[in-house]
Structure 1
Amino acid sequence: MAEEDAPFGFRVRTSRGRQVIALRGELDILARQQMSAPLLTLVGEAAGEVYVDLRHMSFIDCAGLSLLCALRNRCRQRRRRLTLVSDDAAFSRLLRLTGLADTFTVVGCREVTETIGAEDDWEAIA
């Protein structure tokens, strides 16, 4: 199955000393099972701040939230900061309803462009 046809995936790049992980598609139990290990490794090896770009997510459930929590915990263990990138009101509502709104730092797309660079400026694809 081509990457574009897969129901989920991610790309990774380094921008201005920050690791940017762009998730796409559906972040559900299947995605969690298949992406947890590589994402936790990437976050664990990050040298600086980590940004998880959620702009291309079409769906997220409790398993997806669990993966985001695991990434946040890994960052905290390594004394790194994790920031989520999203302008999606439904995602913000999901965080509020699950009691996770204060757990994550979430920034909008416009706020983060200068910090992590343009979306099409990818150095590496995973």
Structure 2
Amino acid sequence: MGPKPPPANLHARTRICGPFTVVEVMGEIDLATEALLAEHLNAAATGPESDVLVDLRRVAFFDCSGLRVLCRAETRTREHGGRLRVVSDAPRILRLLRGAGLLGRFPLLPGIPGEDM
């Protein structure tokens, strides 16, 4: 991860959990709030060989604006030798990723490895 994560906001916060940089996403992510998520993902994605987990378990709404932010962050993470994965067991997130043809790009995890699931 980069030097220091951005401050938490109403829609995203970043924390370190063992070897992972976890970006926890909350509420509704759409065109009006995507920048609040992007600042956290951008910071997490620029570290060398970062292992970024985007935790979508507390998301109430997530649209193509959020997908665009995820795609940019995944590309940036990969360019720095890392990886980005999505944490969610919500059927609607699975449907969204499958419908957008992105399920293979974002491996879904049911929880944060090492934490109680």
Match runs of 1:85-96 below 5 Å: 85-96=87-98
Gap regions ≥5 residues in structure 1: 1-5, 120-126
What's the TM-score once normalised by structure 2's chain length? 0.82
Structure index of larger Rg: 1
What's the CA shift string for 1:26-59, capped at 9, x where partnerless?
A: 1101111343234312321365311110000000
Instruction: Tell me which of 24, 27, 39 is aligned to 1:25.
Output: 27
Supply the distance in 2 between the matched residues of 1:41 and 1:65 (Cα, whole angstroms).
Answer: 17
Gap regions ≥5 residues in structure 2: 1-8
Greater relative contact order structure (CA < 8 Å, 6+ sep): 1
Moved more, 42-51 or 53-62: 42-51
What's the TM-score once normalised by structure 1's chain length? 0.76
Instruction: Tell me which of 43, 46, 64 is aligned to 1:44.
Output: 46
Supply the distance in 2 between the matched residues of 1:72 and 1:23 (Cα, whole angstroms).
Answer: 16
Instruction: Tell me which of 15, 18, 40 is aligned to 2:17.
Output: 15
Which structure features the higher share of helix residues? 1
What's the CA shift string for 1:48-81, capped at 9, x where partnerless?
A: 3111100000001111111111111111111101
Give the root-mean-square deviation of aligned CA atoms. 2.0
Distance 1:46 1:21, change over 3 A: farther
Q: Which runs of 4+ in 1 moved over 6 A?
A: none
Q: Percentage identity across aligned positions?
A: 30
User: C-alpha displacement at 1:105, in angstroms?
Assistant: 1.0
1:81 corresponds to 2:104? no
